[in-house]
Amino acid sequence: MKNIVLLGYRCTGKSSVGIKIAERFHMDFFDTDHLIVEQSHMSIRELVNKGGWSLFRKKERDVIRKIAAIVGSVIATGGGAFEDPENSERLKRNSLFIWLHADAETVIQRMESDQGSIDQRPSLSTDDLHTEVINTMGKREPVYRRIADFTIDTSIKSIESIVDEICTFIENSNEKD
């Protein structure tokens, strides 16, 4: 079975959905952000404070290089992972890309209600949260759209219904292979 790579903006459900998909298909689950934190022994905020977003993106590229060689896993990627085309090229060889997206207001509500997310992840810009989310989503969405094999809106669906839809897509994809 191919890898299942979940991509999308922050707080769209990649980790929550990824864990459930991995359980359903009896696959390993990897979260690139968690791997970066584990390997660097620093939170994302600490890492960015130490060396800027460029240091974080370098660590992210290293992690993706390693997990791209693993086959049959579910991988939740950071929201900006695919700003680096090398990451998508490495993963696309043996993966299905699933884009989880939500409208900006939903993302902002989720971010504001998840204090851990705010504490652990620094802003991407000096803009207020609303402006940052709108601008960053606008910048990333064309990339997500271009590389996605399947897209699902997570704004109002339950995790279980999202997982069901993705699993149906994956099962249908496997039948075609």
The model's pLDDT over 90-148, given as tens digits with 9 standing for 90+, comes to 999 899 999 999 999 999 998 888 766 655 666 666 678 889 899 999 999 999 999 99
Measuring CA to CA, how many Å separate 88 from each of 83, 150, 163?
9, 15, 23
CATH fold, domain 3-164, is Rossmann fold (3.40.50)
Residue 131: strand pairing partners:
none
For residues 4 and 21, what is the distance between their CA atoms, to the nearest angstrom? 9
Cut 0.85: pTM above it: yes
If one compares 164 and 128, the residue with the highest pLDDT of the two is 164
Q: Looking at residue 129, what is its pLDDT?
A: 85
From CA 5, how far away is CA 75, in angstroms rounded? 5
Residue 59 has pLDDT above 70, yes or no: yes
Pairing of the two strands 28-31 and 73-76: parallel
Domains of the chain: which residue ranges?
3-164
Under DSSP, the state recorded for 78 is P
Mean of per-residue pLDDT scores for the chain = 91
Sheet containing 95-101: order of strands: 28-31, 73-76, 3-7, 95-101, 150-153
Cα radius of gyration rounded to whole Å, the chain: 15
pLDDT at 29: 98
Q: pLDDT for 62-96, tens place per residue?
A: 999 999 999 999 999 999 999 999 999 999 989 99
CA distance 64 to 130: 29
pLDDT of residue 50: 94
